[in-house]
Structure 1
Amino acid sequence: MRSKVEADSSAIPAPIGRADQTLAKKRRLLQIAREEFIRQGYRAVTMDAIAQAAGVSKRTLYLWHEDKAALFRACLNAGVERFPLAQFSDAAEPESDLRAFGVALLQEFTRPSTVGMARLLMREAHEFSEFGPLIRQSRDDYLARPLAEYLVRTGISKRDSGSAAMLLLSMILAPVHNALLVDDALPDEQQCRLHVEIAVRTFMRGTERGANAAAA
């Protein structure tokens, strides 16, 4: 039988290791940096202001990110890593799989922080030539290429899978594009699901007709 001291000590959570504390600080820094970039714009933000807002020393900030451009890239990566690639599951029916992926993706792109970063990129991209390659690489690595591979793997699109993936992404994200370009209201959760349902169904019918035409 355990003693009372042993029983009590088992309920005490293990102390957080130094590595875990550092990782938590890095994540918090990126969150605060994203907020500052969105609020002030890329040009106006200073490393000093971000260090102060995050409660870290300038030395620590520059140890983690060598300059503002590197910090901004890290902020972009932190955002794209939330993209719902895990929704691709070969156990599901492809259309159901794509709907789940599309809903998760559209909901991610309607998050205030994601919309804020998108508005920032649109507003200042003409001043900073490095933005374009960063956006394209993130899109290709985290969205277009994995989606194209899934379309091939499931037999949905065996030819021009890259173009098909880009088309489906554009269809899913159309409400976000409209919000950014013409200030349409962003969809709520129910509207996201309805839009994705229509987009995926239309895409699947189009690819099916294309496959039948190619086989004829």
Structure 2
Amino acid sequence: MATPEPKLTLADSAPAPARMGRADQTLAKKRRLLQIAREEFIRQGYRALTMDAIAQAAGVSKRTLYLWHEDKAALFRACLAAGVERFPLPQLNDPAEPEADLRAFGVALLLEFTRPSTVGMARLLLREAHEFAEFGSLIRQSQDDYLVAPLAAHLARAGIAKDSPAAAAKILLSMLLMPVHNYLLIDAELPGEVEIEAHVQMVVGTFLGGARGRQRPT
């Protein structure tokens, strides 16, 4: 049985306070535009959605929309950037005990990747990637810049996989995100918070056991 599509909301958007300055009001409007544009891309698809429809949904003029984003491709890239900037960063609290830090990162990562808007954008990219070659490079660049590089730096600081931290980071990310991949590819159910905790605990323990085993002197 196919998993129902996650329900999208505008819960994160809020009206700008009346006393906000003009620059703050403009920034708030730009953020709200990106939130609405993300939802419209997810709902209608990249090819079908027009700039006219986005302007109407966001309540801005076409002139303003094109002033902020030169075309639909630029707007879509901005929507992606707004999403990946939400990805958590691993925190190194105790280099001698990295498991707790990696577990906290893994839980935060899965909670973000199971958000309706994040899942919706991932489904959109998978669905339309064959038509738009630039999607592939956008996905790879976002993954490298916002996931692999920060995690690789964290692993290196913690003394894990010192010879190949980027390769180790990719392996760990693949293991952590397996429930999301299963949802996108085979319609498996997305995990809840309890399942996320259990999955992350198992993945991090397995990963650290393998990494420590490879680093033992022969």
Question: Normalising by structure 1, what TM-score?
Answer: 0.90
Match of 2:184 in 1: 180
Corresponding residue of 2:48? 44
Match of 2:5 in 1: none
C-alpha offsets along residues 118-164 of structure 1, whole Å, 9 cap, x if unaligned? 11000000100100111111100000011111111110110111110
The 5 A counterparts of 1:1-216 are 15-85=19-89, 87-91=90-94, 93-212=97-216, 215-216=217-218
Q: Is the 8 A contact 2:92 2:154 kept in 1?
A: no
CA distance in 1 between partners of 2:55 and 2:130 (Å): 27
Whether the 8 Å CA contact 2:123–2:184 is kept in 1: the answer is yes
Letter in 1 for 2:55: A
Percentage identity across aligned positions? Answer: 72
Aligned residues: 201
Q: Cα distance, 1:89 vs. partner?
A: 2.9
Deviation (angstroms), 1:108: 0.4
1:168 aligned partner, one-letter code: L
Partner of 1:4: none
CA contact (8 A) 2:92 2:158 kept: no
Once the two structures are TM-superposed, the CA of residue 90 in structure 1 deviates from its matched residue by 3.5
Amino acid at match of 2:155: L
**Structure 1 counterpart of 2:205, which letter?**
R
Letter in 2 for 1:88: Q
Residue of structure 2 equivalent to 1:9: none
Structure 2: gaps (5+ residues): 1-16
What residue ranges of structure 1 are gaps of 5+ in the alignment? 1-12
Aligned-pair CA distance for 1:91: 4.4
Q: Once the two structures are superposed, what CA deviation does each residue of 1:14-38 show, in whole Å capped at 9, x if it has no partner?
A: 8211111111100100000000000
Which amino acid is the alignment partner of residue 89 of structure 1?
Answer: L
CA distance in 1, matches of 2:21, 2:109: 33
How many Å separate the matches in 1 of 2:93 and 2:147? 17
The structure carrying a bigger helix percent of its residues is: 1
**Alpha-carbon deviation of 1:88?**
1.4
Deviation track 1:154-182 (CA, whole Å, cap 9, x = no partner) reads: 10110111110000000000000001110
